[in-house]
Amino acid sequence: MTSKILIVGAGIAGLSIAQWLSRFGLDFEIIEKRSSECIAHTGIVLPFNAVRELKDLGTLERLEGRYFEASTITYNKMTGKTIKSANLTEPPFENDQFISLKRQDLDRALLEGLEKKIRYNTEILTVEHGDDAVKITCTNELLNGSYDLLIAADGINSLVRQNNYEGQEMLVDHNVISWRFVVPYTEHTLQPLHLIGQTDLFTVYPISEDALYCYGHVYEDLNDIVLGDNAKENIKKVFSGYGGPVPYILSQLDDVDILTNRLKSVIKPCFFDRRIAFVGDSASGCSPLIQQGAAMALADSRCLADALAMQNIDQALMTYKERRERKVERVIRFADAPLTHLESMQSWVSRGIRDLKIRTMGPPDVNAWKKLATDRHFLS
């Protein structure tokens, strides 16, 4: 019997699971609250495990010529003085790729072949559990009714999750304001770079020979910074004392679109409740400090779709949770760990210890990636 499936959200998680379901011959509808396909003028960093997933999905080949492949990553003090570099072509990554690109290019590659399946300008309104089904209402009345499976792929602030777990605290706010943007930088010759200050951080990832994807954050409680419309002024205020390429980058912000957010994480991952499945950030959103958001969304989607192709819905949901739970919980711990120490970085002693650890043990995100690549908990 053909199942009636509704996917909520047309971001990385929603589009990737739609691609897998299409491959397995399973039918679905996708709703998306945006008015059209994603045109976010930001970048995205895809470590080795995200690239592996894109290869399995057949999407990486569609991105040929539209990404930057990194070979090293360097951690600097805010002044620009190097603390430690790591080689991304050495074991265990000798057969892997680390890439960065425009977010819109990734979304469009994942969208290919699904254009007619997405109903834009459609937002979920209510979710009600029934016997072996989920009854929903949304802003497109033609789609109202019962579905055998609802797949929530609508991000860290998931409306499906909020409706389903109404009144329950599902997210933790880390009191960190972040900014993401892409700037032109002609013939830069740069490799990925992290500049670390006190409770602030600025990262630079090339996405081509002439453009950089930049990410910055600051701990809100210790700085006179308020989330709002003055993003450019705030960025210049926080990072005005930085060295390296940052002064030039700050001088290029006038015509740049900036995405501003607060860093949030799920308190505990949620994978399904009766006939609602959660994938990507709606299931396990965490900090971007080891760049695992896309990787987890892609892996969730493959795992859930594979289970749905082989089992009935209820068995598939159990299999999905069993296969993903331990791995996801460990990734979240790796990703959020640096934020637990952020407030203490106002002390020069704590900063000295942090820099010493990086100098002796290597960049923390590379260490986390090595664990993901070699730890039996992730390979099983």
Q: Sign (positive/negative) of CA torsion 115, 116, 121, 125?
A: negative
Where do the domains of the chain lie, and which CATH numbers do they carry? 5-67+102-171+265-340 (3.50.50.60)
pLDDT at 176: 93
Nearest one of 186, 175, 223, 179 to 202, comparing CA atoms: 179
CA-CA distance, 6 to 151, in Å (whole number)? 6
Neighbours of 81 (CB within 10 A): 11
pLDDT at 375: 82
pLDDT at 235: 94
pLDDT at 379: 54
pLDDT at 76: 98
Return per-residue pLDDT of the chain as tens, 380 residues.
Answer: 467 999 999 999 999 999 999 999 999 999 999 887 656 679 999 999 999 999 999 999 999 999 999 999 999 999 999 999 999 999 999 999 999 999 999 999 999 999 999 999 999 999 999 889 999 999 999 999 999 999 999 999 999 999 999 989 999 999 999 999 999 999 999 999 999 999 999 999 999 999 999 999 999 865 566 666 688 999 999 999 999 999 999 999 999 999 999 999 999 999 999 999 999 999 999 999 999 999 999 999 999 999 999 999 999 999 999 999 999 999 999 999 989 888 899 899 999 999 999 999 999 999 999 999 998 665 55
Query: Exposed, middle or buried, 224 (CB in 10 Å: 0-12/13-18/19+)?
Result: exposed
Nearest one of 105, 128, 118, 147 to 33, comparing CA atoms: 118
- Lookup result for tokens 């379901």: 21
Helical pair 293-310 and 48-57, crossing angle rounded to 10 deg:
40
CB neighbour list of residue 337: distance below 8 Å, 6 or more residues apart: none
CA-CA distance, 300 to 323, in Å (whole number)? 9
Sheet with 72-77: strands ordered across: 82-87, 72-77, 193-196, 200-208, 211-219, 171-184, 259-266
Paired sense of beta strands 133-138 and 124-130, if any: antiparallel
pLDDT at 3: 76
Q: CA 112 from chain center: how many Å?
A: 20
CA-CA distance, 269 to 287, in Å (whole number)? 13
- What's the distance, Cα to Cα, between the start and end of the chain in Å? 32
CA-CA distance, 228 to 52, in Å (whole number)? 37
pLDDT at 1: 44
CA-CA distance, 98 to 324, in Å (whole number)? 23
- Any alpha helices (H) in the chain, and if so which ranges? 12-23, 48-57, 103-111, 159-164, 231-239, 246-251, 281-284, 293-310, 313-340, 348-361, 364-374, 376-379
Nearest one of 163, 160, 128, 159 to 146, comparing CA atoms: 128
Nearest one of 264, 282, 276, 287 to 335, comparing CA atoms: 287
Length of the chain: 380
Answer for the pair 236, 202: CB distance below 8 angstroms, yes or no: no
